[in-house]
Amino acid sequence: MQSEIAARGLSRKVHFSGTRADVADILRATDVVALTSHYEGLANVLLEAMCVGIPVVTTAYAGVDELVTNHREGFVVPLGDGEAVAERIAALFGNGELRCELGERGKQTVRDRFSIEAMGGQLLGVYEECLRRAK
């Protein structure tokens, strides 16, 4: 990847930072996070971005809808549609109000669905349902 970046004259714009312990700080300095995977499990990078209020642009890989709702926390575009990814990123760069709105919704989604309290409550609900069925 580094040689391809260099060949395209982008070495001053694209950086490979290696392993970092300050990801939250880096994300806070970011305007948009893009994930163009064809397959992911639960994509931590999307959760991390949403946690600090960064809107996301991601591809519609299987399961992404468990994290991101299109036009709510960011944008979900068709797999392999680089033009749609670029359009959504450009739209976010051009509209600070929209970036903030989607970012705030992302933070709320993380609090509501993925915080320790939310996940603990969901697990408790599973146990309560199991106990109810066992009676």
CB atoms within 10 A of CB 89: 18
The yes-or-no verdict on residue 64 having pLDDT over 90 is yes
The percentage of the chain sitting over the pLDDT mark of 70, rounded to a whole number, equals 100
The yes-or-no verdict on residue 121 having pLDDT over 90 is yes
DSSP code string of 92-134: HHT-HHHHHHHHHHHHHHIIIIISHHHHHHHHHHHHHHHHHHH
| Cα angle for residues 30, 56, 47 (degrees, 5° grid) | 90
Average pLDDT of the segment spanning 95-124? 94
CA 126 from chain centre, in angstroms, equals 27
CATH number given to 21-134: 3.40.50.2000
- Domain boundaries of the chain, sorted by first residue: 21-134
Q: Write down the pTM of the prediction.
A: 0.79
